[in-house]
Amino acid sequence: MIREENNTEQAGTGFDTGIMVRGVLAPLIVWGIAVGVASWSGTPGVACATPMAWLIGLWVGNYVAARSRSHPSRRRIEALISGGVLGFLMGVLFYVVSTLAMPVRPEEEQRALYISLGIIIFGTIITALLSLMTASARSRRASS
């Protein structure tokens, strides 16, 4: 007899990784396409708008909290992780675009690296916190 696995979380014992992945990939793909098209057309400086794109973490938190099938207490953690992953990947995209498409003088290479590291670190933290904030607000509204 073949046992059929159910795709839903069983008694809230884990993370809804499918929703977390979708919550990260959807905005990352859109942002990646926007940065890629702008860079390809000769305007790689659009990658410098990455700190503004961290606001997408608000959408991620709402998306994950609304669609997660895991236990309600885990949804905030899922949103926090998803937002952090998104912020990290946006920072990596910034680094790649700035390294490949933006000219940097040799004496500015170290400063450019520090800026990229700052974007990656702060992007991870800020996007995670924005995502958590939105998921928490959604949770409070749902419980009232």
Q: What is the pLDDT of residue 72?
A: 84
Q: How many helices (H) and strands (E) would you count in the chain?
A: 5, 0
Report the C-alpha gap between 117 and 7 in whole angstroms. Answer: 38
**Could you report the per-residue pLDDT of 54-79, keeping only the tens digit for each?**
999 999 999 999 999 998 889 999 99
Q: What is the pLDDT of residue 88?
A: 97
The residue-averaged pLDDT of 107-129 equals 94
Q: What is the mean pLDDT of the chain?
A: 88
Report the C-alpha gap between 35 and 113 in whole angstroms. Answer: 19
CA angle centred on 110, ends 108 and 115, rounded to 5°: 95
Confidence of residue 8 (pLDDT cuts 50, 70, 90): very low
Residue corresponding to tokens 């995209």: 93
The residue-averaged pLDDT of 105-124 equals 93
Q: What is the pLDDT of residue 114?
A: 94
Q: Is residue 80 scored above 90 in pLDDT? A: yes
Give the three-class secondary structure for 103: coil
SS3 content of the chain, % helix, strand, coil (to 5): 80, 0, 20
Q: Is the dihedral of CA 63, 66, 70, 73 positive or negative?
A: positive
Give the three-class secondary structure for 5: coil
**Could you report the per-residue pLDDT of 21-63, keeping only the tens digit for each?**
999 999 999 999 999 999 889 888 888 888 889 999 999 999 9
Q: What is the pLDDT of residue 5?
A: 41
Is the Cβ–Cβ distance between 75 and 69 less than 8 Å? Answer: no
Q: What is the pLDDT of residue 134?
A: 96
Is the Cβ–Cβ distance between 33 and 90 less than 8 Å? Answer: no
